[in-house]
Structure 1
Amino acid sequence: MADGHQWKIVKIPPIVQELAGEVHEPPSQYVVREQDRPSVAAVSGMPEPVPIVDLSRLSASDDEDRAGELARLRSAVEDWGLFLAVGHGIDPSFLGEVINVTRGFYELPLEEKQKYSNLVNGKEFRIEGYGDDMVVSEEQILDWCDRFYLIVEPESRIAHSLWPTQPPSFRHLSNLVQVSCCLNFSCFFLVRDVVREHTVRCREIAGLVLAKMAGLLGLQEGYFAGMLDENAMTYARFNYYPRCPRPEQVLGLKPHSDASVITVASMDDSVSGLQVLRQGVWYDVPIVPNALLINVGDGIEIMSNGAFKSPVHRVVTNAERDRVSLAMFYTLDPEKELEPAPELVDDERRPRRYAKTKTKDYVTGLFETFARGTRVIDTVRISE
């Protein structure tokens, strides 16, 4: 998520999707330490359910309905750092298209996907593109996941050469696709530009949630949302988690928190895998059909001076089913400073808990710490 930044890597990991079809045991570089394995870490039987918030009620005309839903939002972002959003206004059929486009990309032949590789000259890693996360040491434990990152906002930052032309609904500038039909003539069909449309809709959702979160802190509702200005960066990460022969030994995505301000994720309704850490216990995030996952990012934890928490989460693998998801990460203008809101800092009652940092430096730090299994937010946290 660091625009234009490139890293030297110690080795090029295999494409996991290809590896999964060839091995009966995961290679040793994917096997996590015994104490970190999903079979050892206690996964909760849901004594408390992951919160669900109805976004349509956050702005309801009925005062009681609105107040009740705002209370649920407060509890979610203070106690969990994430929630499942319903009432978001996106048609279920369109959410299905989003997942189908993601899956459709990963169903392309390997040589087609590699046209959009995240490797420059075969040896330098960049954030945008298709492949795996960077490898910075021989001892690094790798994730059982392939990913495809794209900058989707602002328009001036989009690298059009990295946007696939297949499947057609992933990106089609004219929206007209010519295909061969019967009787030896061509037909034209209107194709939705799914990724662009999804980007617009998710920004509206992120704006609504950010406005209500600011209000909960006594700030003007436009405080957080207004920071996502015309230079703010939005990244899309298309994730693919292949079937794994030993899911009890391997993680699809290692524990981490998001360097975003806020994250809006669309998840596969057919198979679960996301888990969130709360009070030392891993909770399965359940499948709620047509719900979106809203995740507080490190940016909001910092700007709220710790009032809202950016949750640690991970993805587990599955022996029977593969899984896809699409996460939209909203970050500030790379040149903006990230720091607690002045209104939320008081030397006596609410001391500053995070140091000031430039957004582009923070986001660059995410990938360097993630590869090592640490959290970038710890680098700016001020000890009490």
Structure 2
Amino acid sequence: MAIPPAGKRVQEISAEAAEPPPRFFVKDNGFGGGVSSAQVADIPVIDLNLLLGTDPDAKEAEFTRFKSALNFWGCFQLIGHGMSNLFLEKVRGVGKEFFSLPMKEKEKYVRSTQSPEGYGNDSVLAENQILDWCDRLFLKIYPQNQTDLHFWPQTPPDFSEIMHEYSRKMKGLVDELLKMMAKSLDIEEDGLLNLIGDEPTLEARFNFYPKCPKADWILGVKAHADSSAFTILLQDKEVEGLQVLMDGKWYSVPVLPHALVVNLGDQMQLMSNGMLKSLVHRAAVSSTQERMSLAVFFTPDADKEIGPAEGLVNAERPRLYRSVKNYRVINMKCFQSGEIPIDTLKI
């Protein structure tokens, strides 16, 4: 269980332009976690319209690029996803409007220590934890029977309408991506869909990164790999911050205002029997600009035992991981102990 966050929200600390408390200053955490400059990454841009299109040559060429992006980077920027620039601006807009509300109004949606849902800053899971320079609004958005509207802001007034529409579009996108990822692994189209259980979840996390006077020493989000199967990120329209780790070096992911960044998580590494790798990433902050992003985490049913797909275990490639339920619990325990979660499942 999380320890209640100490002190003020990050947005309040930033507004005071004071020296950040010592607990925000980053030390190496085993993931290359020290703050340093990052090279610009040439992250592949994948067009879903071409992947699903009728032109066989264009479809094959785009699928080859898609498969290469998964295997080399563990992430890609997705365009042709069916969401207009205008709609994405509305999604960004309701998030920005929420974080611009007076603190008293935002605190109406504050989370409890029993749940990650709601408004708050970094959940404190260990006494010596380095804190993220980030305030968050975390919501379960699918399936609808699991959403807790108590945490959904009433201001701005169109927040719920826009986020419900976004969740519907995300669910359709997730289903298409699962089919494509299964195809990239040379298994049946529904090979991954059959693994995830009857009630997989989509959880949305608005991340607000205020200006930071010590941006060279502090991170918006520490280096980590997601516990999800994969994550779909809507970046800030203008301000970069997402950085990915490749061969021991950090790379900055360019901002494409109309694109969604898709990155693999630990449960995809588990389901693919290690053929696909979860992506270690972090978020940098700026001393001059605030930034906001929206991450949607796609996670298999917590009550379903998740393990490697049957078609990916054979004599040439033995089973690498044991099957587990509710991988998030393992992820949280490992965070506190300093272990790498996916490694604890190795056979």
TM over 0.5: yes
Query: Judging changes above 3 Å, is the alpha-carbon distance between structure 1 residues 156 and 135 closer, same or farther for their aligned structure 2 residues?
Result: same
Q: Which residue of 2 aligns with 1:286?
A: 254
TM-score normalised over the length of structure 2: 0.94
Q: Which residue of 2 aligns with 1:240?
A: 208
Q: Which residue of 2 aligns with 1:70?
A: 63
- 1:16 maps to 2:36: no
Select which of 111, 114, 118 maps to 2:111.
Answer: 118
Which whole-Å deviations, capped at 9, do the CAs of 1:127-186 have from their partners, x for residues lacking one? Answer: 111102321333210000011111111122111211111111112xxxxxxxxxxxxxxx
Question: What SS does the aligned partner of 2:217 have?
Answer: coil
- 1:43 maps to 2:46: no
Which whole-Å deviations, capped at 9, do the CAs of 1:190-245 have from their partners, x for residues lacking one? Answer: xxx11011111112112111111101212121222355565221111111111100
Question: Partners of 1:164 and 1:209 in 2: how far apart?
Answer: 30
Q: Which residue of 2 aligns with 1:353?
A: 320
Query: Judging changes above 3 Å, is the alpha-carbon distance between structure 1 residues 126 and 133 closer, same or farther for their aligned structure 2 residues?
Result: farther
Query: Judging changes above 3 Å, is the alpha-carbon distance between structure 1 residues 335 and 196 closer, same or farther for their aligned structure 2 residues?
Result: same
Alignment gaps of 5+ in structure 1: 1-6, 172-192
Question: What SS does the aligned partner of 2:173 have?
Answer: helix
Q: Is the 8 A contact 1:214 1:220 kept in 2?
A: yes
Once the two structures are superposed, the pairs formed by residues 234-273 of structure 1 within 5 Å of their partners are 234-273=202-241
- 1:154 maps to 2:143: yes
Question: Partners of 1:22 and 1:116 in 2: how far apart?
Answer: 23
- 1:202 maps to 2:197: no
Query: Judging changes above 3 Å, is the alpha-carbon distance between structure 1 residues 169 and 33 closer, same or farther for their aligned structure 2 residues?
Result: same
Percent sequence identity is 38
Query: Once the 2 structures are TM-superposed, how far is the Cα of residue 371 of structure 1 from its aligned partner?
Result: 5.5
Once the two structures are superposed, the pairs formed by residues 24-173 of structure 1 within 5 Å of their partners are 24-33=18-27, 36-39=33-36, 43-46=38-41, 49-119=42-112, 124-171=113-160
Query: Judging changes above 3 Å, is the alpha-carbon distance between structure 1 residues 92 and 153 closer, same or farther for their aligned structure 2 residues?
Result: same
Question: 30-39 or 96-105, which moves further after superposition?
Answer: 30-39
**Number of matched residues?**
344
Question: Partners of 2:151 and 2:258 in 1: how far apart?
Answer: 29
Question: What SS does the aligned partner of 1:96 have?
Answer: helix
Q: Is the 8 A contact 2:136 2:205 kept in 1?
A: yes
Query: Judging changes above 3 Å, is the alpha-carbon distance between structure 1 residues 89 and 11 closer, same or farther for their aligned structure 2 residues?
Result: closer
Question: Partners of 2:216 and 2:333 in 1: how far apart?
Answer: 26
Question: Partners of 2:19 and 2:338 in 1: how far apart?
Answer: 23
- 1:224 maps to 2:192: yes
Query: Once the 2 structures are TM-superposed, how far is the Cα of residue 328 of structure 1 from its aligned partner?
Result: 0.9
Query: Judging changes above 3 Å, is the alpha-carbon distance between structure 1 residues 320 and 230 closer, same or farther for their aligned structure 2 residues?
Result: same
Q: Is the 8 A contact 1:135 1:371 kept in 2?
A: no
Query: Once the 2 structures are TM-superposed, how far is the Cα of residue 268 of structure 1 from its aligned partner?
Result: 0.8
Equivalent residue letter for 2:22: S
Query: Once the 2 structures are TM-superposed, how far is the Cα of residue 77 of structure 1 from its aligned partner?
Result: 0.7
Equivalent residue letter for 2:340: R
Q: Is the 8 A contact 2:133 2:209 kept in 1?
A: yes
Question: Partners of 1:98 and 1:307 in 2: how far apart?
Answer: 34
Question: 23-32 or 233-242, which moves further after superposition?
Answer: 23-32
Question: What SS does the aligned partner of 1:126 have?
Answer: coil
Question: Partners of 1:369 and 1:170 in 2: how far apart?
Answer: 35
- 1:363 maps to 2:328: yes
Question: What SS does the aligned partner of 1:327 have?
Answer: strand
TM-score normalised over the length of structure 1: 0.85
Q: Which has the higher strand share?
A: 1
Alignment gaps of 5+ in structure 2: none
**Looking at CA atoms only, which structure, 1 or 2, has the larger radius of gyration?**
1
Query: Judging changes above 3 Å, is the alpha-carbon distance between structure 1 residues 371 and 144 closer, same or farther for their aligned structure 2 residues?
Result: farther
User: Alpha carbon RMSD of aligned pairs, Å?
Assistant: 1.8
Q: Is the 8 A contact 2:238 2:257 kept in 1?
A: no
Question: 8-17 or 244-253, which moves further after superposition?
Answer: 8-17
Query: Once the 2 structures are TM-superposed, how far is the Cα of residue 296 of structure 1 from its aligned partner?
Result: 1.3
User: After TM superposition, what 4+ stretches of structure 1 lie above 6 angstroms from structure 2?
Assistant: none
Query: Once the 2 structures are TM-superposed, how far is the Cα of residue 105 of structure 1 from its aligned partner?
Result: 0.9
Q: Is the 8 A contact 2:94 2:156 kept in 1?
A: yes
Query: Judging changes above 3 Å, is the alpha-carbon distance between structure 1 residues 374 and 315 closer, same or farther for their aligned structure 2 residues?
Result: farther
Equivalent residue letter for 2:78: A
